[in-house]
Structure 1
Amino acid sequence: MLQAVVLRFVDKCGIVQEIFIGVVHVMDTSALSLKSALDALFAKHRLSFTKVRGQGYDGASNMSGKFNGLKALILNDNESAFYIHCFAHQIQLVVVAVAKKHDGVKDFFDLLALVVTVVNSSCKRKDMLREIHKDRIQEEIGNDEIETGKGLNQEISLVRAGDTRWNSHLKTITSLISLFPEVKKVLEYVEDDGDNGSTRLQASGLLSYFKTFEFVFYMHLILTILGLTNSLSQALQRKDQDILEAVDLIGTTKAQLQMLRENGFDQVLEKCYSFCDKHEIVKLDMAEGYVNTRNPRKRMNINNRHHYNYDIFNTILDMQIREFGDRFGEISTDLLQNMAALNPRNSFSQFNKSSLLKLSKMYPRDFDDKERMILEHELDIYYHFVYNDVRFANLNGIADLARLKVATRKHLSHPLVYQLLKLTLVLPVATAMVERCFSSIKLVKTDLRNRISDDFLNAALICDIENEAHAKVKTEDVIDRFQKMKTRRGQI
C-alpha cells in the first residue's frame, strides 16, 4: 500500500510552494504504521517533525482520529503541527450528507445514475445519442437558432458521475440538460427494443419521471446548488491557496446559499418553466392544490407553491447551510480567528495586535517570551508602515502580502511578523496535490512497470508531477552528471 507525501512551505521569495517528495510503502493503514513510514521518510531527507507546523488529510479515522489517529500521534510529538481537515473533502461531505438525508434528492441522484447507466451501457446507444445530437445541431444552425464559431457546438456525451468526487454530478446534470431531447429518444428506443424486460421497464420508468415537473425542479435546484459549491471547490485546488482566503471563500459561499434560500425560489422556478416550455413538459400552477403523485388519493391541504417552496426548496437549502456550519467548525477556532488579524484586505481593517500576540503563543517553538516582547513593539511599527505605504494598499490576501514584503525587503525589517505570515501560509487547505500524485501513480505504474522499485517509482513520479522544475533541467547537465558518476570507457 502506498502513501504519498507532499510538503507545503514558503520559499525565499515569499511564495507558497507544494512539492511532492515521494511515496512510501506501508504494511497496513494503521496510524502507527503510517507514522513509522513518515519517520523513515523524514529521516531519509534529513527533516524533523519538530519543524512541522501543519498537517492535512481527509476525514478517515486512522488519519484524523482524536486519540489514536496519525494527527494525534504527530501532535503528541509537536503541539504546533495543527491539523486541518481537507476543505475540498468537507465540501464533498456537505453534498453527500444532503443527498443521503433528503429523500427527494436521494431519489433524484439514484435515477440520474440509472439514466447514465441505461444510455451508456452499449456503444450502439452512445452512437445513437451522438448522431441524434449532431442532427439537431445541424438543424438549429440551419435555422440560425444557435451561433457558430471556433470551439462552439462540440460533440458531447452524457457524463458519468464519480463516486468520490460529488462535484462531477454537476457535469452530469449539465450534460443531461444539453442532451435532454437525445436522451429521451434513446430511452424511447430502449423502451421499445431493449435487451430484456428489466431494461425496457427501467427506460419506461425514467421516461415517466422525465415528464414530471418534480424532476425538472430537482434538476435545476441541485444544478444551482452544485454550481455555487463547485466554484469554491475549484478555488481550493490551487497550490498557493492560503487558509484565510479559503475561509473567506467558504463564508461567501455560505452567504450565497443563504441569499438563494431567501430570494432564489422564483429564479429557479422561472428556469424550470422555461425548460418545460422548451421540452413540452406540463407546468404546474403554483396556486393549485398539491397532489402527491405517489399517493394521489391522500389530501395534502397545501398548494404547489407551499410544497415546492417550503417542503423542498427551503428544506434542502437549510440542510445545506446547516451542514456547512457543522463541517467547517474549525473556522471558528481561536487559531484561525487570530490568524485573520493578518489579513491585509480593506487597508488592514482586521489588524488586531492582541490577536497576533495570542497567535504567537500558539507556536511556543517559534516564539519565546523575549521574542514576544519584541513582537509587541514590532507589530506597532509594522502596522504604521503598511497602513501608510501605498504599495500595500490594495492587497487581496496574505499570500500577496508575503510576496510584497519580500520584494520590498521589509521582511527583514519585520522578521517576527513575517514569521507569523509564514506560519499562516503553510497551513494546508486541501489535499488536491496529494490526489494529483495518486492520479500520476496510475499513469506511471502501469502493468508493464508493475515491478519497478520504490526508488525508481519515486524518481519517475517526481519527473511527472514536478514537471515545471523538471523542464528547467538541461539534458547536457544530466549527461554530464551521469558521466561523472564513475569512470567510463567512452564519452557520452
Structure 2
Amino acid sequence: MAIVLRYVDRLGIVKERFIGVVHVLDTSSLTLKDTIDYVFTDNNLSTAQVRGQGYDGASNMSGAFNGLKSLILKENSSAHYIHCFAHQLQLVVVVVVNKHDDVEEFFEQLALVVTVVCGSYMQIQEFGDRFSEVGTELIENMAALSTCDSFSSFDKSKLLKLSEIYKNDFDDSERVHLNGQLDIYYYFLLHDEKFVNLKGIADLSRLLVETGKHLSFPSVYRLLKLTLVLPVANATVE
C-alpha cells in the first residue's frame, strides 16, 4: 500500500509527500487501517489531525459501512473522504476510449508500453455515484474560496456553512470570529493589487503568509488550509 500525505506548510505552500510503500498481508479494510495507524505512530503523527482521505472506489476502501474510509471516519469525523481524482479520470478515459475509435487505437498502441486497465461503459455511472459521496454541499461551499474572476464566487454564507462541516476546527465562538473577518477579508482582496490574477487558492494561501495577512485573518486562513488539504481542491476549487 502506498501512502502520500498532503498538507500546508508554514509558508502557506501546499505539499504532497510520499511516505512510502508498505507491505500488507491482505487488502481488507481492517488490515489497511491497522497499517495506516502503525505508519502514523512510527512517524509521530496522529490520525486525529487528518482532514481528508482519498482512495479509489473499491468497496474495501470506500465502503459505506466497513470500508477504510468509514473506519477512519468513525474515529475522526473531519477526515472527509474524496474519491481519488486520478481514478475518476481513468473512468472518464475508459468511456471516451469506448466511444471514439481514434482514441481507442491510441490506447491500444500505448498498451504495448504500459498496462492499461479498461472497464465497462457502466463505469461512467459509477464515476458519478462515487463523486456524489463527497457531498454536494462540501464542494459548493469550497468553491466560494475561488480566486477566479476577481473572487467573483465569494459567498460569505457558503464559507460559514463550510466551517460548520468542520466541527472539530470551528466552535460557535470561532464561527462568530470568522463571520466578522470575512467581510474585511473580501474587501482587502478586492483592493490589494498583489492579489490580482492569482492562479488559484494555492497561490492565495502562499501570498497570505508572504504578506503576513494570514495573521490578520486567522479564521479565514484556517478554512483555506482545510480546503487545500483535500485532494479535491485543485480539481474543483481552482
TM-score by length of 2: 0.85
Letter in 1 for 2:112: R
Letter in 2 for 1:163: T
Q: Tell me which residue corresponds to 2:216.
A: 413
Unaligned segments of structure 1, at least 5 residues: 117-157, 167-315, 431-492
Q: Tell me which residue corresponds to 1:70.
A: 68
Q: Tell me which residue corresponds to 2:59.
A: 61
Letter in 2 for 1:74: I
CA distance in 2, matches of 1:331, 1:35: 20
Aligned runs of 1:457-468 on 2, under 5 Å?
none
**In structure 2, do the counterparts of structure 1 residues 372 and 91 end up closer, same or farther at CA, with 3 Å as the change threshold?**
same
- CA deviations on 1:17-47 (whole Å, 9 max, x unpaired) are 0112233332211000100111111111221
Q: Is the 8 A contact 1:9 1:18 kept in 2?
A: yes
Q: Tell me which residue corresponds to 1:402.
A: 205
**In structure 2, do the counterparts of structure 1 residues 357 and 57 end up closer, same or farther at CA, with 3 Å as the change threshold?**
same
2:89 is equivalent to residue 91 of structure 1: yes
**In structure 2, do the counterparts of structure 1 residues 38 and 111 end up closer, same or farther at CA, with 3 Å as the change threshold?**
closer
**In structure 2, do the counterparts of structure 1 residues 322 and 74 end up closer, same or farther at CA, with 3 Å as the change threshold?**
closer
- CA deviations on 1:342-372 (whole Å, 9 max, x unpaired) are 1122111111110000000101111111100
Q: Tell me which residue corresponds to 2:116.
A: 164
Q: Is the 8 A contact 1:331 1:337 kept in 2?
A: no
Larger radius of gyration: 1
Aligned runs of 1:258-277 on 2, under 5 Å?
none
Q: Tell me which residue corresponds to 1:382.
A: 185
Q: Is the 8 A contact 1:361 1:367 kept in 2?
A: yes
2:78 is equivalent to residue 80 of structure 1: yes
Letter in 2 for 1:160: L
Q: Is the 8 A contact 2:6 2:17 kept in 1?
A: yes
CA distance in 1, matches of 2:123, 2:28: 33
CA distance in 2, matches of 1:112, 1:420: 41
Moved over 3 A (4+): 97-100, 108-113, 161-166, 319-332
CA distance in 2, matches of 1:51, 1:397: 25
2:155 is equivalent to residue 342 of structure 1: no
CA distance in 1, matches of 2:225, 2:58: 28
More strand by share: 2
CA distance in 2, matches of 1:70, 1:162: 29
CA distance in 2, matches of 1:49, 1:325: 29
Count residues in correspondence.
231
TM-align CA RMSD: 3.1
Q: Secondary structure at the match of 1:364?
A: coil
Aligned runs of 1:279-428 on 2, under 5 Å?
328-329=131-132, 333-428=136-231
Letter in 2 for 1:78: N
How many Å apart are 1:331 and its aligned residue? 7.4
**In structure 2, do the counterparts of structure 1 residues 320 and 387 end up closer, same or farther at CA, with 3 Å as the change threshold?**
farther
- CA deviations on 1:398-436 (whole Å, 9 max, x unpaired) are 011001101100000000100011001100249xxxxxx
Q: Is the 8 A contact 1:357 1:376 kept in 2?
A: yes
Q: Tell me which residue corresponds to 2:50.
A: 52
- CA deviations on 1:276-333 (whole Å, 9 max, x unpaired) are xxxxxxxxxxxxxxxxxxxxxxxxxxxxxxxxxxxxxxxx9xx999887566446771
**In structure 2, do the counterparts of structure 1 residues 349 and 111 end up closer, same or farther at CA, with 3 Å as the change threshold?**
closer
**In structure 2, do the counterparts of structure 1 residues 9 and 164 end up closer, same or farther at CA, with 3 Å as the change threshold?**
same
Letter in 1 for 2:116: T
Q: Percent identity?
A: 61
Q: Secondary structure at the match of 1:163?
A: coil
Q: Tell me which residue corresponds to 1:289.
A: none
